[in-house]
Amino acid sequence: MAYFAASCDDAETNRKFAESLKLDYPILSDPGGKVAKAFGVYSPRGFPKRVTFYIDKDGKIVAIDTKVNVRQHGADVAKRLGELGFEKR
Convert the pLDDT of each residue in 19-67 to its tens digit. 999 999 899 999 999 999 999 998 888 889 999 999 988 999 999 999 9
Given a cut of 90, is residue 17 above it in pLDDT? yes
Can you spell out the DSSP letters for 44-73?
TTSSBPP-EEEE-TTS-EEEEE----TTTH
pTM over 0.75, yes/no: yes
CB contact at 8 A, 74 and 5: no
Given a cut of 80, is residue 76 above it in pLDDT? yes
10-20 average pLDDT score: 95
Closest CA to 50 of 1, 6, 11, 3: 6
Q: How confident is the model at residue 89 (pLDDT cuts 50, 70, 90)?
A: low
| H-state helical runs in the chain | 11-21, 34-38, 73-84
